[in-house]
Structure 1
Amino acid sequence: MKWLNAVIGKLLLMVGLDLESRIGGSIQFFLYDTMKITGLLCVLIFLISYIQSFFPPERSRKIMGRFHGIGANAVGALLGTVTPFCSCSSIPIFMGFTSAGLPLGVTFSFLISSPMVDLGSLVLLISIFGVKIAVAYVVLGLVIAVIGGTLIEHLHMEDQIADFIRHNPGKVDIESPHLTVKDRLLYSKDQVVFTFKKVFLYILIGVAIGAVIHNWIPEGWVETVLGDNNPFGVILATLVGIPMYADIFGTIPIAEALFTKGALLGTILSFMMAVTTLSLPSLTMLKNVIQPKLLGTFIAICTVGIILVGYVFNAIAHLLV
C-alpha cells in the first residue's frame, strides 16, 4: 500500500507540512498506518469471520475430541488461529471446552494460540515484515502453543480448575446451527463492526506510539536498549509487554517503528507475543477460572517460550530479512 502513503504525503505537502520535519513525518506515519491497518483489519475480519462461521465452539470441540496426544494439542492450536482476536475473548471458549471434558493440555494449546496467532495477524505481518518473517512468527507461535499445552497435560493439574467448571460438564454454549450464505455474510459484517469498535482505540494508541518512536526517539537509543548491544533485550521486551493490554493489531505499528529504528527482530516479536498472550486483564480473568499453581505454570511456560523464541529469531534474523 505504498501508493496510499504517497497520496497522504502529497496531501500533507499541499497543506504546507514539511514531511522531513518530526511533526510532518509523525502525522504522515499516523495517518498512513491508521488507514492501512484499519482497512486491512476490516477486510480480514470479514473474511476470517466467514471462515469462523463454519467453526463455532461446539463444532471445534467435536473436532478436537477426535484426536489424542500431541496431535490433539496441534489441532487445538490450529483451531485457535480461526477463533477470537484477543486473549480475553478466548477465555470463555476455553472454559466451555474444559467443562465439555476436553483434555486440559488441548484447551491450553487453544488458549495460547488463539490471541498469539491468527489469520489476520499473518496477513498484516506479511504486509510489514514480509512472508518469511510472518510465516516464521506463526509457526513458532504454534510451536509454543503445542509444547505449552503438552507440558501442562503431563503435569496432571486438572484439580487446579475451578470447581464450577469441573463439576459442570456439558457442551460448549454455542451449538453449530445451519447457516445460509446470507446468515454467514451478516455474521461477518456484525463481527467487523464489533471488532472494529473493540480494537480501534488500541490501533490509534499503537500507531501514535509508533509515530513517536519513528520520528522522535533517536535510533541510537533503540539500538542500545533493544539492539545487539543489550543481550537482555528480549527479556526486557517480554517483561515490558506483559502488563500492557492490546491485541496483535495494536502492537504491529509499534513493532514496525521499532524495526525501522534498529531493534532486533526477535526482541520485537517477543514483545508482541507477550502483549497479546499475557496481558494483565486476561490473566485477571483466568485467575477466576484456574488455581494459582496452574496460573503460575501457564505464565511461566508462556514467558520462557516467548523469550526462547525471541533469541531464536535474533539468531536467524539474517536468514529472514
Structure 2
Amino acid sequence: MLFLSHFYQLFLESAPWFIFGLALAGIMKTCIPINWMNQQLGGHDIKTTVKAAFIGAPLPLCSCGVIPAAMGLRRAGASKAATSSFLVSTPETGIDSISVSYVMLGPFMALVRPIAAIFSAILAGLFVNSLDNQSKSSYSVDDKPTDNTSSCCASSNSIMPKSAHNTAANSSKDKNTSNSCCSINKKQQNNVAPNSCCSTQKSNRMNNAAQKIQKGLRFSATNLVDDISMWLIIGIGFAALVQAYLPSGFLAQWGDGILAMLIMVIISIPMYICATASTPIAAGLLLAGVSPGAVLVFMMAGPATNIATLGVIGKEMGKKTLLGYLIGVIGGALMCGYLINFLAAQFHIEIQPQIGPEHALLPYWLVLSSATLLAFLIGLSFIKKAKNTLK
C-alpha cells in the first residue's frame, strides 16, 4: 500500500506538466516544416552543427522517432556532423521533458538539462567532423540526380536552377499579388463586400492553423504517448519504489565522482528510453542518494546511446562517425555531470526532487483532471499495443 500511495502521488504531481508538455510538443511537431529543417542543416561547417543542436533540442522526438528524422536530414544533404548533432540534442531534451523536469527535479535541473544537451550535441558534431575526412557528404544535394522527369512527383520547379527558381517565384508572387483583390487600394477596399476573397483567405488561414493545432494534439495523444507510456510508468514506479522502501543514501555508496558517472553510462547504454520517461527515474536516483551530476549523465546518455541509434549510425555513416558520436555524447555528459557537482558544492545549491510545492500552486481540479486524462491516454495506448500483439 505504501508503494501505491507514493505512485499515486507522483503520478498526480507530474500529470499537469506532462499534459502541458505533450500539447506544446504536438503543436511544434506540426508547425515546424521538415523542408525548412532540411534547408537549415544542409551545410558542412561548424555553424550548421551548432544550428542542428539548437533546432533539435525543443523537438518532441524520442529515441526511436529521431532516427528516421535524422536519416531524412542526412539524405536531404545534411553533413555527418550536423546529423550527429541533431541525433544527440533531439532525444536528450525537449519541450515536454523540460516541463516534467521542472516539477520532478526542480528549476535548476530543468535549466541545466537543455544547456547540457546542446553542449553535448555540439561536442559530438565537432568530434564527428574531426574524425571524418570526407569534405563532402555522400548524400550531398550536389550528388543527387537532376533528371527527375521519371518521377510522378517531379515538377519543373524541382529541376530549375536556383536563380531561375527564385526569379520565377518572385514573378509568380508579383503576379498573384497584382491580380489579387487584396492588392486593391484603400479607397477600393471600402467598397469591397464583407464576403470578399480577402476575408475568405483570412478564414482559410485560421482554419489551416486550427487544423494544424488539432493534428498536433492528435499526434501527442497517440504517437508520443505510445512511445513513452511504458517507460513513464516504469520510471514513476521506480521513483515510488525508492521513496517507499529504499533506505536514504543507499546508492550514494557509488560516490559522486567519475566512477558513479561511468556506472550511469553503463546502465543507460542498453536502455531504450526517451528524455521525458527518464525524468521520474532520475528523480528516484536523486532520492536514493545518487549525485546530481551522475543523474544528469544518466538523463543525457540514456536517450542518446541506445543500441538502435548506435546501430543506425554505424551502418549509415560509418565507424568513424560512430566513434566521434560516442566520444561526444559520453565526454559531454561526464563534463557536464562533473560541472554540476562542482557548482552544487561550491555554491551550496540544493538539488532535490521538488514534488509537492508545485502541486500546491495548481488547483486540485486541474491536477485531478490532468491525471485522469493522462491515465486515459496511457490506457488507450496499452490496449492498442495489446491488440497489435495479439494479431
TM-score (norm. length: structure 2): 0.67
Paired with 1:49 and 1:236, the residues of 2 have a C-alpha distance of 34
Instruction: Note the alpha carbon deviations across 1:85-132, whole angstroms, 9 max, x for none.
Output: 212211212112111222221221111100012122222112123222
Equivalence map 1:207-246=2 (5 Å): 207-225=236-254, 227-228=255-256, 231-246=258-273
For residue 277 of structure 1, report the CA deviation from its aligned partner. 0.8
**1:40 alignment partner in structure 2:** 17
Hey, what does 2:28 align to over in structure 1? 51
Bigger radius of gyration: 2
Deviation at 1:149, TM superposition (A): 0.7
2:220 aligned to 176, 179, 192, which one?
192
After TM superposition, list the pairs within 5 Å mapping 1:129-208 onto structure 2. 129-158=105-134, 180-193=208-221, 194-208=223-237
Out of 41, 51, 62, which is 1:64 matched to? 41
Q: 2:303 aligns with which of 268, 272, 276?
A: 276
Does 2:69 match 1:93? yes
CA distance in 2, matches of 1:273, 1:231: 15
CA distance in 1, matches of 2:105, 2:57: 19
Alignment counterpart, residue 259 of structure 1, candidates 286, 304, 308: 286
Distance 1:75 1:162, change over 3 A: closer
SS at match of 2:59: coil
Asked if the contact 1:101/1:169 (under 8 Å) is kept, the reply is no
Structure 1 consecutive aligned stretches of length 4 or more whose deviation exceeds 4 Å: 157-170
Report the CA distance between 1:169 and its aligned residue.
Answer: 7.5
The secondary structure found in structure 2 opposite 1:96 is helix
1:105 maps to which residue? 81
SS at match of 1:244: coil
Please tell me the residue identity of whatever aligns with 1:41. Answer: F
1:144-198 Cα deviation digits (max 9, x unpaired): 111211221232354998889997689xxxxxxx981122122112212221122
8 Å Cα contact 1:160-1:290 kept in structure 2 = no
Q: Contact 2:242–2:287 (CA<8 Å) still a contact in 1?
A: no
1:288 alignment partner, SS class? helix
Aligned-partner Cα distance in 1 for 2:238–2:122: 32
Return the alpha-carbon distance in structure 1 between the equivalents of residues 141 and 16 of structure 2.
Answer: 39
The reply on whether 1:30 has 2:7 as its aligned counterpart is yes
Task: Tell me which residue corresponds to 2:188.
Answer: none
1:286 Cα deviation after fit? 3.2
Out of 57, 77, 80, the residue aligned to residue 81 of structure 1 is 57
* SS of match in other structure, 1:262: coil
For residue 128 of structure 1, what is the amino acid of its counterpart? Answer: M
Shift, 1:36, TM fit: 3.6
Worse-matched range after superposition: 153-162 or 43-52: 153-162
Q: Do the aligned partners of 1:162 and 1:290 also contact (CA within 8 Å) in 2?
A: no
Quickly say closer, same or farther: Cα 1:283–1:240, change in 2 above 3 A: same
Which secondary structure does the structure 1 equivalent of 2:316 belong to? coil
Question: Does the Cα contact within 8 Å between 2:17 and 2:103 map onto a contact in 1?
Answer: no
SS at match of 1:232: helix
Report deviation, 1:82: 3.1
Deviation digits for residues 51-73 of structure 1 (CA, Å, limit 9, x no counterpart):
232212211122334x7733322
Is residue 292–residue 341 contact of structure 2 (8 Å, CA) maintained in 1?
yes
Cα gap change, 1:313 to 1:160, in 2 (>3 Å): farther
Cα 1:310–1:160, aligned 2, differ >3 Å: closer, same or farther?
farther
Which amino acid is 2:247 matched to? P
The amino acid of 1:139's aligned partner reads I
2:332 aligned residue (297, 305, 313): 305
**Aligned partner letter, 1:269:** L
Contact 2:313 2:321 survives alignment (8 Å) = no
Aligned length: 289
Letter of the structure 2 residue corresponding to residue 255 of structure 1: A
Quick check: 1:100–1:169 contact (8 Å CA) kept in 2? no
In structure 2, do the counterparts of structure 1 residues 30 and 55 end up closer, same or farther at CA, with 3 Å as the change threshold? same
1:238–1:160 CA distance, 2 compared to 1 (3 A) = farther
Q: 1:169 to 1:155 in 2, by over 3 A?
A: farther
SS in 1 for 2:243: helix
Q: What is the CA–CA distance in structure 1 between the aligned matches of 2:310 and 2:276, rounded to whole Å?
A: 20
1:242 and 1:279 in contact (8 A); partners too: yes
Cα distance change on mapping 1:162 and 1:200 into 2, 3 Å? farther
Give the CA deviation at 1:304. Answer: 1.9
- Per the TM alignment, residue 276 of structure 1 is displaced from its structure 2 partner at its CA by 0.9
Q: Whose relative contact order is higher, 1 or 2, with alpha carbons under 8 Å and at least 6 apart?
A: 2
| Change in 2 beyond 3 A, CA 1:268/1:154 | same
The farther-off stretch of 41-50 and 88-97 is 41-50
Letter in 1 for 2:295: I
Paired with 2:309 and 2:139, the residues of 1 have a C-alpha distance of: 20
TM-score w.r.t. length of structure 1: 0.80
Q: Secondary structure at the match of 2:41?
A: helix
Runs of 5+ consecutive residues of structure 1 not aligned to the other structure: 1-22, 171-177
Per the alignment, in what secondary structure is the counterpart of residue 334 of structure 2?
helix
Q: Displacement of 1:139 after TM fit?
A: 0.9
Aligned CA distance change for structure 1 residues 111 and 209 (closer, same or farther; 3 Å): same
Q: 1:231 to 1:75 in 2, by over 3 A?
A: closer
